[in-house]
Structure 1
Amino acid sequence: QKCCGKFLIPGAVIGALLAILGGILIPVGKTIVQNKIKKEVVLEEGTIAYENWVKTGSHVYRQFWLFDVENPLEVMNSGAKPVLKQKGPYTYRVRYLPKSNITKNNNNTVSFLQPLAAAFDPGLSAGSEDDIITSLNLAVVAAPAILPVSLHFILNLLIKKTNSSLFQNRTVKEILWGYEDPLLAALLNSSITGLFYPYNETEDGSYNVFTGKDDISKTAIIDRYQGKTSLSHWEDKYCDMINGSDAASFPPFVDKKKSLYFFSSDVCRSVYANYESSQVVKGIPVFHFVLPPQVFAAPTENPDNRCFCKNPTITENCTKAGVLEISACKEGKPIYISLPHFLYGNKDTINSFDGLNPQEEEHQTYLDVEPTTGFTLRFAKKLQVNLYVGPHKWLDVFSKIKQHFIFPVLWLNETGAIDDSSAEMFRASVTTPVKILGIVQLVLLCVGCVVFLTCMVSFYIVRPGRAK
C-alpha cells in the first residue's frame, strides 16, 4: 500500500496538469486557428481567399426554365386564363472568367470588374438552344412602358404594320440572348432585344470591396458599386443601401444568429438570408442560410419594403406579396422579379395562371457557408423574370386583356458547389486541423480529469489512516 501510495500523488499531479493543459488549449487553440484564418481570408495576393476570389475554382451554372404559353390565341382573343408549361433546364456555364481591372486602393479596398459570359452545356440541358418557345413578345410588352403616352397612337399603327402580336414563337437562344425585332427596328436605332441582352462580352461592376487587412470583419464587404456607396434606383435612403458582400464569401467567424446580407445587381438591391440548419458539404460542416419570405413580402407584412413599391396600381396598393418591380434599373422596361413560381407570393397572382406550383424545396434560394472562414461552399440563387401585361386604352393588341398580369417568362437557378479537389484541400488546411485540435483538447481534459480523480480516490482509500 505504501509503495502504491507513492505513485498516487505524482499521478494526481500529472492528471491535473493534463487537465489544465487541455483547458489552456481551448482558448490558445482557438486563438491559433483564428490567427491562421485571419491571415488566409484577407483579399491580397498569396492567400487562399485571394486565389479563389480572382477566379472561382468551382463550376458555376445558370439553369433556365422557360414558360411555354399553351393557349396564346385564347388569351389574346377572349382574355382566357393563361396556361403555362415549364420547359428546361437549359444550362449555361457562367462566371468562368477571372475578375479584370483588379486595382489595390489606399483605403484597404480592392476594385474590379466581373466579366460576364455564358457557354451552353448541352449535356446538362433538357433540350437544344433552338427549341421553340411560345412566349410574350418582349418588344410589344416593353414599348408602352418606354414610350411617352403621346406616342402610343403611333405605336399602335407600327404594331399593326409589323404584324407584331402579344405572343410570339422564338428559340430559347433568342429569348435569352437577343434577336432582331421588326417593331424595335421601326421605333429605335437598336433593333435587338432579349431578356439578358447584352450579356456576353459585358461586365458587372465596377465593385470596390474591403480586403479585410485592417479589419477582418469587413472582408469582402462591398464599399462601392459603380463608384457609389449607395444606389439611386429607389429614391430612398434605406432601399438604396448597398449591404454586405456579393455572396461568394462573407467575413470569417459567421454568427448563425445574425442575417447574412449580400447585394445582387440582378435584382438591383441588397437582400439577406437567415440561418436554417447545420449541414455537411463534402465532409465540411456548413451553416445553411435561406432567403426568407420577408425579403419580397408586401409592405403590409414587412414595412421595410415600402420603398421598393414603385407602382401601387399594378400591385394593388402594394398588398400583393412576392414581386419586386425593377424597371427603374432596367431602362424603364416593365420587369418584375420574384422567386420561382411566385414562391411565398400572393395566392391571387399564382392562381392567375394554370401550370404554376411553388415548392419551397425546389424554388428556395440558399447559401451554405463554412462558418470559420466565411466561404460560400454551395449556393443556389433562384429568381423568376416576369413582365407586366394589362389593359391598354390605345393599343389594340391589349384590347382583350381583362386584368393586370405579372406574367412569368422564365425562372433561373444560378448554382455552384465546391469541387472535390478544392474540398480536399479545404479539409486538409482548415477542417481537419480544427477537428484534430478539438479532439486533442478533449482527450487531454478528459484523461487528465480521470487520472486526477482516480489517483485522489485511490490515495484516500489506501492512505495509512484508512489501512488500520
Structure 2
Amino acid sequence: MTISVADTALDIEKKAIDHCTRRNRLYNCLIWVYCGMFLMSFVSFYVFWYTDTFSNLVFSQMKLQNDTRSFNLWQHPPVKLEYRVRIFNYTNVREFETGMASKLRVQELGPYVYRETKDRVNVVMHENGTVTFQEKTSYVWADGSSENDVVVVPNVPMMFIVAFVRDSSFAIRFLTNTVLSTLRERTFINVTAGGFLWGFDNSLFHMVKPFLMFKRDISFDKFGLLVTKSGVNKNYITMNTGSQDLHNLGMIERVNGINNRKIWGDEKCDRIMGSDGSMFPPYLIKNTSEPLYMYSHELCRNLPLHFAEQVITHGIPSLRYKLTPNAFNLSDTQNKCFCPKVNGLRVCPPAGLFDVSACNDGVPLLSSFPHFYGADKSLLEQIDGLNPRQEDHESYIDLHPRIAVPMAGWSRMQINLKVRKAIGVPFLGNLKDGTILPLIWIEVGVDKVPEFILDIFQTAYFTVTNVEMALQWGSLIVMMLSLSALVTYLWKYHVQQAEAEILQKNRPFK
C-alpha cells in the first residue's frame, strides 16, 4: 500500500495540532490551579497580615465561660500574692509629748509577710456577657518579722472618735471627753504588730461599736487596720466576661448593681470603670500611648497606669506600666473632682495624698505612696525618719505583651492618719491639727508563679508568635510562588497559542 506525501503531511499536521491542543488544555488547567492558589494565598496573606483574625482566635480562649480552663483559673487563682506590710514605729513619743522634741520620728519595722489566697464566690453568669461575684480572701503569715513585735503607734480608734465629734455640739464633745478620761486613753499606744494589723481588743471600740452599727455593718469584734480584708468582701462586682465583646474583657461594669458611686459629686470621677487588675482587654495594649485603668474599691476611684518601658519578665518581653505620682496630684484639673467637698467647696490635700474619707464613712485616712514618695516636700518636714526612693516605693505591673495578663508587679500604698483636733477634747497632746501621721505601708505583688502558669505565658508568647509568623510568611511565600507560576504558565500558554496560530496559517493543505 502506497502512502502519499499529502497523507503524511496531513498526519503530521494532525498530530501537531493534537499535541498543541493537549498542551493548551494542560496549561489552561494549571493556570486555573495556580490562579486558585494565588487567590487563596492572597486572602490568607491579607487575613494574617492586616486583620486581627488570628489574635481574635487566641483571645477567644480567654473568655470567661463555664467549665473552661480560663474560667477555673479566674475563679480560683493559682498564684498566691505576697502581702508585705511595714509598720511605722514611733520612737520618740515621750520626748515629743514633753516638748523635748519638735517632731515625731518613725522607724520602719517589717516586712510582715503574708500569703494571700483569693477565690471568687457567689458567681452568677448573665446572658448579657457579664458575671457577678464576690471576693473571698484569707491571709496567712509566711515570713519576715514576728507578729509579736511590740510597736508604738497612734491610737487610731481614739483619733477616729475625736475626728467624728469635731463638728458636733458641746454636749457631744463633753461626753466624748468624759468617756476618754474614764478609759484613760492615750495619744500613742503599745500594741503587737499582728494586733495592730488584724485586730486587738480595744475598750473604746467595744463601747462605740453599737452606735457605729447604725451607720454601717461592722462584722468584726476587734479593731485592726486590715481586719476588713479577710473573709468575703461585701461588694458584689459585675465584670465583663468578653463572651460578647473581647474589647471589654475583664472590665468592671458595676459594683453592687450601680455604675456610679455618687461619692465625689462628679459624673466623671464617680463613674466605675477599669479592670480589677487580674486581666486587661488585650487590644488596649496595642497602643501604649493610652493609659490602662484599674478600679480600686478601697479608694472608690479608677487609677491610671501609664506605659513606662519594655522589660524581660520570666524570660518573656513584657510591657511595664506604672502608677505615676500624678495620680495623687489632685490639683491637676482631671483629678480635682476627687477632692472632698467642705461647705460646698472642694478642698484638696497636699500633692501626693488621696483623701479616702468620703469613701470610708468619713474616717480621716489618706493614701499615698510609701514614705510620701512623689508627694509634697512639706509632708517629709513633719515627720523624721522617712526616706522616699523610687525603686522601692513606686507601683508597677508587667503585662504579657499578647494576652495582657499580669506576669509580675508590685502595688505599694501607704495608709496615713490625719489629725483632726476637737475643742474640749484635749487628748491629742502636742500634735498639730492637720498633721499627717504615717501608719503602715503595704506591698502586694508576686515574683514567683507556678510552672504551669509559666508554660501558659511562654506558649502564649513563643508558640503563638511562631505559629503566627509561620502563617504570615507561609501565606506570603505561597502567594509569591503561585503568582510566579501563574505568570509563567500564562506566558507559556500565550506562546503556545501563538505557535498554534502560526501552524494553522502555514498548513500545506487546506
Report the TM range for the smaller structure's normalisation. 0.7 to 0.9
Match of 1:7 in 2: none
Distance 1:23 1:80, change over 3 A: farther
Contact 1:76 1:398 in 2 (8 A): no
Q: Work out whether 1:28 is the aligned partner of 2:64.
A: no
- Between the aligned partners of 1:184 and 1:328, the Cα distance in structure 2 is 21
Identical pairs, percent: 24
- 1:311-332 deviation line (CA, Å, top 9, x unaligned): 679xx95361011111122222
| Residue 31 of structure 1: how far off its partner (Å) | 4.3
- Between the aligned partners of 1:34 and 1:170, the Cα distance in structure 2 is 54
- Between the aligned partners of 2:444 and 2:349, the Cα distance in structure 1 is 29
Task: Choose which of 168, 171, 174 in structure 2 pairs with 1:149.
Answer: 168
Letter of the 1:128 counterpart? S
| Residue 84 of structure 1: how far off its partner (Å) | 0.6
Q: How does 1:354-365 map to 2 (within 5 A)?
A: 354-365=384-395
Letter of the 1:45 counterpart? N
- 1:75-121 deviation line (CA, Å, top 9, x unaligned): 33327211010011101111x24211111112111111101211111
Distance 1:449 1:347, change over 3 A: farther
Distance 1:289 1:363, change over 3 A: same
Task: Choose which of 198, 205, 215 in structure 2 pairs with 1:177.
Answer: 198
- 1:278-326 deviation line (CA, Å, top 9, x unaligned): 1121122221000012210031xx112222212679xx95361011111
- TM-score, L = length of structure 1: 0.84
- TM-score, L = length of structure 2: 0.77
Contact 2:349 2:355 in 1 (8 A): no
Contact 1:320 1:346 in 2 (8 A): yes
Distance 1:443 1:357, change over 3 A: farther
Q: Work out whether 1:91 is the aligned partner of 2:123.
A: no
Q: Work out whether 1:196 is the aligned partner of 2:196.
A: no
Structure 1: unaligned runs, 5 residues or longer: 1-13, 454-468
Contact 1:233 1:329 in 2 (8 A): yes
Aligned partner of residue 295 in structure 1, secondary structure: helix
Q: Work out whether 1:135 is the aligned partner of 2:167.
A: no
Contact 1:69 1:83 in 2 (8 A): yes
Q: Work out whether 1:435 is the aligned partner of 2:453.
A: no
Contact 1:92 1:121 in 2 (8 A): yes
- Between the aligned partners of 1:448 and 1:212, the Cα distance in structure 2 is 35
Return 412-421 or 97-106, whichever deviates more.
412-421
Letter of the 1:149 counterpart? S
Task: Choose which of 411, 414, 419 in structure 2 pairs with 1:384.
Answer: 414
Q: How does 1:231-246 map to 2 (within 5 A)?
A: 231-246=261-276
Distance 1:429 1:250, change over 3 A: closer
Q: How does 1:297-446 map to 2 (within 5 A)?
A: 297-299=329-331, 302-310=332-340, 318=348, 320-417=350-447, 418-438=449-469, 441=472
- 1:129-177 deviation line (CA, Å, top 9, x unaligned): 1111110111111102223622122212222221111100111111111
- Between the aligned partners of 1:375 and 1:91, the Cα distance in structure 2 is 24
Distance 1:179 1:115, change over 3 A: same
Return 277-286 or 440-449, whichever deviates more.
440-449
- Between the aligned partners of 1:140 and 1:378, the Cα distance in structure 2 is 39
Match of 2:325 in 1: 293
| Residue 340 of structure 1: how far off its partner (Å) | 0.8
Q: Work out whether 1:159 is the aligned partner of 2:180.
A: yes
RMSD over aligned CA atoms reads 3.1
- 1:402-455 deviation line (CA, Å, top 9, x unaligned): 3521110000011125433211233125432213532675699699999x99xx
Aligned partner of residue 282 in structure 2, secondary structure: coil
Q: Work out whether 1:118 is the aligned partner of 2:136.
A: no
Contact 1:108 1:210 in 2 (8 A): yes
Match of 2:253 in 1: 223
The answer to which structure has the higher helix fraction is: 2
Task: Choose which of 288, 295, 305 in structure 2 pairs with 1:263.
Answer: 295
- Between the aligned partners of 2:400 and 2:46, the Cα distance in structure 1 is 21
Contact 1:325 1:335 in 2 (8 A): yes
Aligned partner of residue 417 in structure 2, secondary structure: strand
Contact 1:33 1:434 in 2 (8 A): no
Larger Rg: 2
Match of 1:206 in 2: 236
Return 24-33 or 82-91, whichever deviates more.
24-33
- Between the aligned partners of 1:213 and 1:231, the Cα distance in structure 2 is 26
- Between the aligned partners of 1:174 and 1:361, the Cα distance in structure 2 is 30
Letter of the 1:176 counterpart? L
Structure 2: unaligned runs, 5 residues or longer: 1-33, 213-220, 485-510
Aligned length, in residue pairs = 432
Aligned partner of residue 239 in structure 1, secondary structure: helix
Contact 1:312 1:318 in 2 (8 A): no
Match of 1:107 in 2: 128
- 1:8-29 deviation line (CA, Å, top 9, x unaligned): xxxxxx9xx99x9699547426
Letter of the 1:261 counterpart? Y
Aligned partner of residue 68 in structure 1, secondary structure: strand
Letter of the 2:320 counterpart? H
Contact 1:392 1:399 in 2 (8 A): no
- Between the aligned partners of 2:461 and 2:69, the Cα distance in structure 1 is 11
Contact 1:230 1:242 in 2 (8 A): yes
Distance 1:252 1:187, change over 3 A: closer
- Between the aligned partners of 2:115 and 2:46, the Cα distance in structure 1 is 44
Match of 1:74 in 2: 95
Letter of the 2:454 counterpart? A
- Between the aligned partners of 1:250 and 1:108, the Cα distance in structure 2 is 16
